[in-house]
Amino acid sequence: MTKRRLRIGSRGSRLALAQTELVCVRLRELYPEIAFEVEVIKTLGDVARTASLSAIGGKGVFTKEIEEALLAARIDLAVHSLKDLPTTLPRGLKLGAILEREDPRDALIARAKADGSATAHLRALRSGAVIGTSSLRRLVQVKRMRADLEVREIRGNVDTRLRKLDDESYDAIILAAAGLNRLQLAHRITALFSTDEMLPAVGQGALAVEIRAADLDLERLLAPLDHGPTRCATAAERAFLRALGGGCRLPIAAHARCEGERLLIEGMIASADGAHVVRSSLEGRRDQAEAIGERLAEKIKEASATDLSF
Ligand SMILES: NCc1[nH]cc(CCC(=O)O)c1CC(=O)O
């Protein structure tokens, strides 16, 4: 009898492949009778390296081609960084599993100085130091801590950005700790921002496995990979983002966590220049995750109607 085959779609970046490999290893261990094959799929976000992602359409640039392959049954499952996945999935697709979240925090990676040591923390950087990030969310939060720093756009995948930090005129860059950890690059981290200092992107640090909604058999196979507390926390965060209008270009951040049967969420929205920031939090029952996220969005919308000029 020939072995049953399941095809896993992944972007080709080193991080995407490492993340897909993580899922593959667990699936092969659980189901040695199934052949899991990785198919690399190029997305617009991978092709348009030099263009600003907001200029080429923002949401879904890392996922659209992969979702098309899923719908056309050229692949059976896809591994994504949850934070790259738009809050509303195409009809016919669903999240088969959300894996236990890695570190959700943002990390500061400072350039090594001539003596080999790295600047200890953002607070220790000289006035006028250049921080590389292309995330408005990170920009506005850096500016609130250190208005005297210069924030400059930086593009490319994690390895490219680290190389640019070493070669070009950035003093430090900011990346998600999760990606660095998964690439065995934790030693490059100079300091971690607390979530109070820098609220993460919705879904940051979590991996999602996307499947066809009708693929009930595959959903059952993926059940052991699903992590309940992460699913609840990220459901609240994604409901928050969706309610604020996922497509809007304003910096939005949220972080939720489960403590027993309770769920706590913090959310933030800022004006594009970072001059106005509304941040708030909410707590409730874990089984009400989406409703809590939506209520936080309402709370923040009310506060920002008077506070922000949207
Ligand atoms: N498209 C960027 C992206 N998407 C997911 C991660 C990191 C891994 C994660 O947040 O799970 C990154 C890189 C970064 O922000 O540093």
Q: Are strands 172-176 and 93-98 parallel, antiparallel or unpaired?
A: unpaired
CATH topology of domain 1-99+206-226: D-Maltodextrin-Binding Protein; domain 2 (3.40.190)
Q: pLDDT value at position 42?
A: 86
**Atom 8 of ligand 1, nearest CA residue:** 179
Contact 130, 171 (CB under 8 A): yes
3.90.1170.50, 3.40.50.300, 3.90.1150.10, 3.40.190.10: CATH of 106-192: 3.40.190.10
Range scoring the smallest mean pLDDT among 60-64, 94-98, 143-147: 60-64
Does residue 214 surpass a pLDDT of 60? Answer: yes
| Partners of 97 in beta bridges | 209
Angle at 196 between CA 193 and CA 200, to 5 degrees: 65
H/E segment holding residue 108: strand 106-110
Is residue 148 part of the annotated active site? The answer reads: no
Shortest CA distance to 126 belongs to which of 154, 143, 149? 149
Ligand 1 center to 302 CA (angstroms): 30
Judge if 1-99+206-226 and 106-192 fold alike in CATH terms. Answer: yes
Q: pLDDT value at position 92?
A: 97
Q: pLDDT value at position 60?
A: 81
Task: Give the residue, 250 or 281, on which the prediction is more confident.
Answer: 281
Task: Find out whether the beta carbon of 125 lies less than 6 Å from any atom of ligand 1.
Answer: no
Q: What CATH number should be reported for the domain whose range is 227-310?
A: 3.30.160.40
**Atom 9 of ligand 1, nearest CA residue:** 205
- Ligand 1 pocket test, candidate residues 204, 234, 237, most atoms within 8 A of CB: 204
Task: Find out whether the beta carbon of 157 lies less than 6 Å from any atom of ligand 1.
Answer: no
What is the rounded average pLDDT of the residues 159-188? 94
The answer to whether the Cα torsion of 296, 300, 303, 305 is positive or negative is negative
The answer to whether the Cα torsion of 258, 260, 262, 264 is positive or negative is negative
Does residue 306 surpass a pLDDT of 90? Answer: no
Q: What are phi and psi of 21, to 5 degrees?
A: -60, -40
Among the atoms of ligand 1, which is closest to the Cα of residue 207? 11
Give residue limits of the domains in the chain. 1-99+206-226, 106-192, 227-310
Shortest CA distance to 88 belongs to which of 228, 239, 227? 239
What is the rounded average pLDDT of the residues 267-271? 95
* Two tokens, residue 10: 């992944």
Q: pLDDT value at position 47?
A: 74
Under the banding of pLDDT at 50, 70 and 90, the label for residue 169 is: confident
Instruction: Dump pLDDT digits (tens) for 72-89.
Output: 999 999 999 999 999 999
Instruction: Dump pLDDT digits (tens) for 47-59.
Output: 765 555 554 456 7
Instruction: Dump pLDDT digits (tens) for 14-49.
Output: 999 999 999 999 999 999 999 999 999 988 888 765
Q: What string of H, E and C letters represents the secondary structure of 50-75? A: CCCCCCCCCCCCCCHHHHHHHHCCCC
Angle, nearest 10°, between helix axes 14-30 and 158-167?
Answer: 140
Instruction: Dump pLDDT digits (tens) for 231-263.
Output: 999 999 999 999 998 557 889 999 999 999 999
Instruction: Dump pLDDT digits (tens) for 88-143.
Output: 999 999 999 999 999 999 999 998 765 555 555 778 889 999 999 999 999 999 99
- Ligand 1 pocket test, candidate residues 22, 56, 83, 161, most atoms within 8 A of CB: 83
The interface predicted TM-score of the complex, written ipTM, equals 0.95
* Two tokens, residue 178: 């999760």
| Cβ atoms < 10 Å from Cβ of 249 | 10
Alpha-carbon separation of residue 164 from 109, 149, 159 (angstroms): 12, 18, 9
Q: pLDDT value at position 300?
A: 94
Query: What pTM value is reported for the model?
Result: 0.92
Range scoring the smallest mean pLDDT among 54-68, 93-107, 137-151, 268-282: 54-68
Contact 293, 301 (CB under 8 A): no
Query: What CA–CA distance (Å, rounded) separates 45 from 219?
Result: 28
* Two tokens, residue 188: 């490059």
Q: pLDDT value at position 137?
A: 96
Give me the count of residues in the chain. 310
User: What is the DSSP code (8-state) at residue 123?
Assistant: G
Q: pLDDT value at position 45?
A: 82
